[in-house]
Structure 1
Amino acid sequence: MARIDGKTIWITGASSGIGEALTYLLDEKKCKIIISARRLNELQRVKNNCINKENISILEMDIAMIDMAKSKTSEAINTFGNIDILINNAGISQRSLIIDTDISVDKKLMDVNYLGTVALTKAILPFFVENGSGHFVTVTSLMGKFGSPYRSGYCGAKHALHGFFDVLRMEHEKDSIVVTLICPGFINTDVAKNALTGDGSVQEKNDTATANGISPKSFSIKMVKAIEKNKHEAYIGQKEKMGVYLKRFFPKLLHRVVLKSTVK
């Protein structure tokens, strides 16, 4: 097992939720951390809450602006002179039926959740190859393994991430590059509040399942353990994790279970 302590790590989506909790945990482990998101004031708040502020660098960035991926990657590398781990955490969710969802919403979900992550990954990949090491950690979702109503575009983007990073792992294992896919279930964050509805507006309200999810801190502890073990995939949540295995072995049963669920 490779300890994460003291590593240089770049985290996207670090201004709240999982990214914020992960920053605090890695700060305790004396990592050098580059934190990125769109909201500069929130990134500053996160940094101010850290113990080793000298090890925290802020890099404001909109993951959907894929033309900026290369320049932002150069900035990130130059910050501490190295990056050991890229944690692709930035993303946005959805709560709308397919028939009610404008195609512009599907595009935004792909731009943020898939293409933005792929662009950043491709930008830093040559650096990892040249160094002969590097670890891509991508936060997908259990929705990247099976589907659920009201999340069609979100599921599509998360499924796409699995396809891309599975191939990246195969192509660059020879370069000692590691890929870990982290699949959260329900985590008590603002993901539901920030989810897009059919017309592209923000839902602005939580749901019961998300509110009753595990805490970002508990999630981050499990996530770091998976990273240190170089796991290919890790499913982190509560009973909803069983959906992965039902999909694999009993797909029709999963279909019935999801349709009977009150989760929206």
Structure 2
Amino acid sequence: MKNKTIWITGASSGIGAELSRQYAKSGNRLILSSRRLKELEAVKETCSNQEHIKILPLDLKDFKSMDDSVEKAIALFGSIDLLINNGGVSQRSLIADTNFEVYKELIDVNYLGTVALTKALLPFFIKQGSGHFAVVTSVMGKFGSPYRSGYCGAKHALHGFFDVLRMEHQKDNIAVTMICPGFVQTNVTINALTGNGEKLNHDDPGTKNGLEVSYFCKKMIRAISANKWEVSFGKKEKLGVFVKRFSQKLLHSIVLRSNVR
């Protein structure tokens, strides 16, 4: 992609920050969003072509602000070609140990916030006659794993919503790409919510040994440019997507044997 206006949520770190750097190199106009203004400014400083990068703070839990945020985003460059719904939070806790408020937080951030922003931008894409929604879900949006019940539920919900959006708005020249990463070397595990809502504050071997973030983002950008409907990236964990199609019981046994945490 070149010379496009791209809006990236969750742009203050990890996948969002690296996407920003890679898209900036191609001469695109970027809108970077997250709650953390200072971190967004720091990411911008690491990008090339900074004159084509704007910062727009955004809280995915502030559903009522989405219409206003979309108006501001459009005003920055006059158009938006691609929204990358990347913002979110993970989880590490057993169901029996997880407060209900944590489940609500996971749904509000990972699902409802993304839906609210997408809904607010959709009328502009329809009027424009084109648009592209890219959604960073997870292989956990395709199958489950212990310690991630609320995270899995929210990611599964994204697939249901955006599959229908693709069906209803293909006629409006609106594309949807679902990106399903496995382990990627980011702070997603460190920032994951525990059963009482606190951050985990330490990493795990799966994330440490996952895909290098720049490599993953290159593959993600290629998938979006090719208008793929859904792609899974990762190491052996992505095989779970295919094993489930063959035998859900077999996948169940494999996941339990992996002693995942």
TM-score of the superposition, structure 2-length normalised? 0.99
Q: List per-residue Cα deviations over 1:109-165 (Å, max 9, x = no partner).
A: 000000000000000000000011000000000000000000000000000000000
1:77 and 1:227 map into 2 onto residues whose CA distance is 21
1:191 and 1:48 map into 2 onto residues whose CA distance is 22
Give the structure 2 partner of residue 56 of structure 1: 53
Give the structure 1 partner of residue 71 of structure 2: 74
Identity of aligned residues (%): 59
SS at 2:135 equivalent: strand
1:83 and 1:185 map into 2 onto residues whose CA distance is 28
Give the structure 2 partner of residue 98 of structure 1: 95
1:129 and 1:202 map into 2 onto residues whose CA distance is 39
1:29 and 1:139 map into 2 onto residues whose CA distance is 21
Give the structure 1 partner of residue 4 of structure 2: 7
Aligned amino acid, residue 143 of structure 1: M
Q: Does 1:122 align with 2:119?
A: yes
Q: Does 1:252 align with 2:244?
A: no
Aligned amino acid, residue 29 of structure 1: S
Q: Does 1:221 align with 2:218?
A: yes
SS at 1:60 equivalent: coil
Q: Does 1:206 align with 2:203?
A: yes
Give the structure 2 partner of residue 42 of structure 1: 39
RMSD: 0.5
Aligned amino acid, residue 83 of structure 1: I
Q: Does 1:194 align with 2:191?
A: yes
Listed as ranges, the gaps of 5+ residues in structure 1 are none
Listed as ranges, the gaps of 5+ residues in structure 2 are none
> Stretches of 4+ moved more than 4 A in 1?
none
Q: List per-residue Cα deviations over 1:35-70 (Å, max 9, x = no partner).
A: 001110000001111110001100011111111111
Aligned amino acid, residue 47 of structure 1: K
Give the structure 1 partner of residue 22 of structure 2: 25
Match of residue 242, structure 1, among 213, 236, 239: 239
2:63 and 2:132 map into 1 onto residues whose CA distance is 21
Cα deviation for residue 248 of structure 1 reads: 1.0
1:233 and 1:45 map into 2 onto residues whose CA distance is 31
TM-score of the superposition, structure 1-length normalised? 0.98
Give the structure 2 partner of residue 147 of structure 1: 144
Number of aligned residue pairs: give it.
Answer: 261
Cα deviation for residue 262 of structure 1 reads: 2.6
Cα deviation for residue 185 of structure 1 reads: 0.3
Cα deviation for residue 174 of structure 1 reads: 0.3
Give the structure 1 partner of residue 159 of structure 2: 162
1:80 and 1:237 map into 2 onto residues whose CA distance is 34
